[in-house]
Structure 1
Amino acid sequence: MKQKTEIIGMILGWFAILAQFILIIQNRQADIFETIIRFFSFFTILTNILVALYFTTKVFHLSRFPFNGFRKKGALTAITAFIFIVGLVYQVVLRNIWTPTGLQFIVDELLHTVIPLFVLFYWYLNSTDSATTIKSLMKWLLYPIFFLLFVLIRGHFSGYYPYPFLNAIEIGYQQTYANVGIIFGIALTVMSVLLTIEKIIIKNKPSL
């Protein structure tokens, strides 16, 4: 059952990412090189890639660098926290900004709703396989830190920001930094909640 779930997660993840890549190329508003950079400037895309890589690592039992990082303590919980944030921010902040149709609608729902819920369900069933520690989770915070630095530095020089709440040109740097603080606050809160739930699950898990 677990292996089948991981195969489904891998297929869903790569399908959504590749389909979104094709769609953004077809509907590009800049040259191909700039469009590709913009594609990888979205936290949604990068986090879904992490999800797809995680399940790929599990399905094919990959253990060498760089896949070994997905097998360490805290990896599943951290990735679950990040993809949960993707879904949460989209539902609360971004859903009403646009109304995709056709294949874009399907891909959009996969990236922001289906996959986040799928990963959360998988985490609930399998998080106790490798008990998470606070230290192991903190290392994963480097991911959003580097992402935000990249977006803000590149946005300063290019004028392009993937999300309106990070657009320092339009909302100002003070509000942007405040939004960054909120994002990190949400990330720490979600991680703390998942860690607490995991400990409760382990505590109440019947011994064999």
Structure 2
Amino acid sequence: MKNKLTGKPLIWLVFASALVGISIDIHNKMADSGFFEALSTFKFFTLQSNLLVLIFAGLTILGGKKSTNNVMQFSLGPITSYIVLTGVVYLVILEPIYELYGMERFASVLLHYVTPPLMLLYWAFNEKRRYTFAEFPTWLVYPVLFMVWGIARAVFAEDYLYPFFDTGQYGYFIAFYLLFVALGFSSMVMIFIFVNNFYMTPYTLKRGK
């Protein structure tokens, strides 16, 4: 019964939340700036992480049980950590400084406060693979590349993806903001791996002997 409730129905909720959130966000931007300018919203980590979730959920729905036998099984953990990072950073850093109303607020709630916990629940009930601590660096590749790209845009194009990339206002102090985010995400990844090893799949190795 648990699998029936936490398997396909839950991944459908994840898919719907990410799809509706992304669609509304793009529609809102199109109303202000046009279609091609609206697509530029995918430069933000929020849209990128939600798009990764959308693709994962869609492929899982289409692939069914077969999706557990390919690269998808190695993507659940990292993608879940990225979308959780999206929610945590927005809640802690961005929510206090952004004022959104109407459909913009609705899209933001879906992207930051609905999709992340739904994906986390799906991960908690459906991850069967046992992680290794050696995976830790690979999980960091995407967020680190995003940080480097964000700094490059700030320095060379004066395009500040988020306030903590604003070199014009904060100068070198952005290093402290980014260090805080990096340390927070690194700690979160370690928690994911720890929980997976000691609570979700504690007997996997014993069964394999």
TM-score (norm. length: structure 1):
0.84
Once residues 150 and 42 of structure 1 are traced to their aligned partners in structure 2, the CA distance between those partners, rounded to angstroms, is 11
Cα drift, residue 177 of structure 1: 2.0
Match of 1:183 in 2: 181
Identity of aligned residues (%): 22
Deviation per CA, 1:92-147, whole angstroms, max 9, x where unpaired? 111122232222221110111111111111111112x1112223342232111221
Cα distance in 1 for partners of 2:146, 2:98 equals 24
1:143 aligns with 2:142: yes
- Structure 2's unaligned 5+ residue stretches are none
CA gap 1:137/1:126 in 2 versus in 1, 3 angstroms:
farther
1:97 is the counterpart of 2:87:
no
Q: Which amino acid aligns with 1:36?
A: L
Aligned partners of 1:34 and 1:168: how far apart in 2?
A: 24
Q: Tell me the residue number matched to 1:193.
A: 191
Write the letter of the residue equivalent to 1:4.
P
Aligned to 2:29: 24
Is contact 1:9–1:52 with CA below 8 Å preserved after alignment?
Answer: yes
State how many pairs are aligned. Answer: 196
Q: Is the 8 A contact 1:83 1:116 kept in 2?
A: yes
CA contact (8 A) 2:136 2:190 kept: no
Contact 2:26–2:38 under 8 Å retained in 1: no
In structure 1, runs of 5+ residues without a counterpart are none
| Shift, 1:169, TM fit | 1.5
Give distance in 1, aligned partners of 2:88 and 2:94.
9
User: Structure 2: which amino acid aligns with 1:76?
Assistant: L
| SS of residue in 2 equivalent to 1:97 | coil
**Whole-angstrom CA distance in 2 between matches of 1:175 and 1:91:** 21
How far 1:182 sits from its partner (Å)?
A: 1.6
TM-score, normalised via structure 2 length: 0.84
Cα drift, residue 34 of structure 1: 5.0
1:70 is the counterpart of 2:68: no
More helix by share: 2
* Pairing 1:11–2:16 present: yes
CA separation in 1, counterparts of 2:48 and 2:134? 23
